[in-house]
Amino acid sequence: MLSYKLAVLCLSASVLIATNALGAVFDKRAAAFFDPVLGGGSMFIDAGNGLGEPLNVIISGLSSPDVLTLDGVTNFARAIGFSQECLDIHLGNPFSANLGDGHGAVNQSVELRQDFGDPALGTCLESLIGGNHFRVFFQNGPTADSGAVFLAVSKEEDLEENHTIVPDGYDIGRNLLVESALGTTSFSGVTYSTTAQNITGLMPAGSAGVNHGIAVDGIVTLLTVNIV
């Protein structure tokens, strides 16, 4: 069972996802998000080895518009305990995702790491001892421009373990991020109010095709983030 700071309402994906037929052009910002699979995409990012990692959190396209930009997501991330990578240094290749929006496979926009309360240097500690982190992708293509932000969240091991994902790390990472986001948070003079809904049916449960052979529970959490 998930334990969040606020009650989380579980809804079927069919209630939240536009059911437009394949090939249709979706109305801009007409929904919280569009199911990538309907546009030929996937709810798993490409890890570069034939396997995928889950897009297990979505920031709704119905959130405040200022949240749905690279700078906006980064500031929100800082409000919930994440920051840019240590000294802006990224090791390893970027991962890509196809969000079914007409752009095809697109590399992550940014990778953000747990900062342990220090937005300036805390991610250097995460790089050493491990912690939570996520990759950011925007659904803003010509055929499905919801404006939603898809996050691939996971908790990883320390540097000695080469930052591999901890056991059950995809579900754990999602839960930790959601718990830190719910309710009222703030950073750099911006205050956010965040609610969450759990969605089933967007991705399969289990470990088939999942990077590191780590099973996922098939739940995607939708966050609606409003600036107050």
Q: For the segment 46-96, what is each residue's pLDDT rounded down to a tens digit?
A: 999 999 999 999 999 999 999 999 999 999 999 999 998 776 655 557 899
Sign of the dihedral defined by the CA atoms of residues 201, 204, 205, 211, in that order: negative
Q: Is the model more confident about 180 or about 17?
A: 180
- Whole-model pTM: value is 0.85
- DSSP character for 114? E
**Quick one: average pLDDT of 202-209?**
97
CB atoms within 10 A of CB 196: 23
Please report where in the chains the tokens 């309360």 appear, as a residue. Answer: 117
Per-residue pLDDT tens digits for 86-139: 766 555 578 999 999 999 999 999 999 998 888 878 788 777 777 899 999 999
Q: What is the 3-class SS of 204-216, one letter each residue? A: CCECCCEHHHCCE
What percentage of the chain exceeds 70 in pLDDT? 82
Q: Tell me if residue 163 falls in helix, strand or coil.
A: coil
Relative to beta strand 131-138, strand 149-156 is antiparallel
* Sheet of 96-98, strands arranged across: 52-54, 44-46, 96-98, 105-107
The pLDDT of residue 125: 78
The pLDDT of residue 12: 37
What percentage of the chain exceeds 90 in pLDDT? 70
All structural domains of the chain with their residue ranges = 40-227
Tell me how far apart the alpha carbons of residues 41 and 43 are, in angstroms, rounded to a whole number.
Answer: 7
